[in-house]
Amino acid sequence: MRLLLLSLAICFSSLLAAQVGGLFTYEFLNFAPSARISALGGTHIAVLDDDINLGATNPAVLNPLMHQQLSFSHAFHPGDVQYGYATGGYYHQKWQTTFSGGIRYANYGTFDLTNNLGLVEGDFKAAEYGISIGAGRQLAERLRGGINLRFVTSRLESYTSTGIVADLSLLYQDTAKNLVLTMVARNAGRQLSTYREGNVEPLPFELQAGISKRLRYLPFQFSLVYRYLDRWNILYDDPNSTETTLLFGDVDTEQSDTEIWFDNFARHFVFNGELFMGKKDNFRLRFGYSHLMRKELSINEYRSLAGFTFGAGVKINRFRLDYGRTNFHLGGGVNHLTIGTNIKEFR
């Protein structure tokens, strides 16, 4: 436990200054790994159940219920961009530790290769991959900890890069109150080789905190995630914008300092909820909202569902099927599908 806390502190202190502002490499690591997470706002870290995909965003949730779970997810992005994640879990009884292994991929398709006059001379492809192993275990009566290690490789035309990334997390669970609190340091690491010699780029490090609560007398679970604990100002100042879209689409032409503060504060949060139906929660309805996504992807002149997500999940025989929809922009959204099963159910 002390070692995990120390590791969190070291990663936070060493990467905080390097990750404020600017652009990051390996942004595909922030894609939602499963349809369930897509439907719940794209960020979901504070739930502890048998879903092996949750370990990709918070390794502390890895638990014995995930033993021999297998899952495969694929997302259809606009512009024929393809993204997916495959993972499996294993509980080692002697070590009292749950392990996971997974691979995520992002295929950006084929592009025209042109010269400086715009003449097409051929084509090229772009893709990125991340191979990960994770471990999570009980540290104390109500405290869990976990770590993910991920090797990343990226190829964009003739430019290649590799990197090593880690996720570290702690989770507190109160089973009597159906309450979960957690903190996650995501994407801490560095490039091992760069696209251009000497040009080291920052990784999308992020410190997150989350809370979830399942209601006692209603089959409903809500979750709240606070993103970017490592930096306060995440506003984007668009010099071409004369209007500002406030929470849930209201438009304001001028903002006071108080409104600017509230707008920035709201961008840190992801809200979501999950409704369970059936005797064994075999059918689930989900929704989520990210104010940051809505602010960055909305068009002032048009109302849209940018920032809102929804989906559903159903278990049929030995398989669980999930669908998630993320509304990025008027120009298109992402449809996400996941199929999962447990090897034990086939015996």
pLDDT of 166 over the 80 cut: yes
Distances, alpha carbon 278 to alpha carbons 40, 82, 284, in Å: 20, 33, 9
- Tell me how far apart the alpha carbons of residues 270 and 308 are, in angstroms, rounded to a whole number: 10
Other C-beta atoms closer than 10 Å to the C-beta of 10 total: 13
Q: Mean pLDDT lowest for which of 64-73, 211-220, 232-241, 325-334?
A: 232-241
Distance in angstroms (rounded) separating the CA atoms of residues 148 and 62:
10
Pick the closest to residue 312 from 345, 337, 280 (CA basis): 337
Mean pLDDT confidence for 64-69: 96
> Which residues, in sequence order, are CB contacts of 54 under 8 Å at separation 6+?
37, 44, 45, 47, 48, 61
Contact 210, 61 (CB under 8 A): no
Please give the average per-residue pLDDT across 232-248, as a whole number: 64
Any idea what the Cα angle at residue 196 is, between residues 192 and 202, rounded to 5°?
55
Q: What is the pLDDT of residue 177?
A: 94
Mean pLDDT of 272-277: 96
CATH H superfamily, domain 2-346: monomeric porin ompg (2.40.160.40)
Q: What is the C-alpha radius of gyration for the chain, rounded to an integer number of angstroms? A: 21
Summarised one tens digit per residue, pLDDT across range 79-88 is: 788 999 999 9
Instruction: Quick: pLDDT tens for 169-189.
Output: 999 999 999 999 999 999 999
| Banded pLDDT at 7 (limits 50, 70, 90) | very low
Going by pLDDT thresholds of 50, 70 and 90, the confidence category of residue 10 is very low
Segment 249-258 mean pLDDT: 66
Report the half-sphere exposure of 155 (CA within 13 A, side-chain side): 11
Q: What pLDDT band is residue 14 in, cutting at 50, 70 and 90?
A: very low
Residue 243, helix vs strand vs coil: coil
| pLDDT > 90: percent of the chain | 67
Percent of the chain with pLDDT over 70: 88
Do strands 120-138 and 97-114 pair parallel, antiparallel, or not at all (unpaired)? Answer: antiparallel
- Structure token digits, residue 333: 């959204």
Which pLDDT score is estimated for 145? 98
Structure tokens at 72: 């495969």
Q: How far is CA 15 from CA 57, 150, 154, 189, 250, in A?
A: 19, 17, 21, 8, 36
> DSSP of 288-299, one letter per residue?
EEEHHHHHHH-B
C-beta separation of 274 from 286 below 8 A: yes
CB 130 within 8 A of CB 152: yes
Rounded average pLDDT over 28-41 = 96
What per-residue confidence (pLDDT) applies to 92?
97
Contact call for residues 130 and 150 (beta carbons, < 8 A): yes
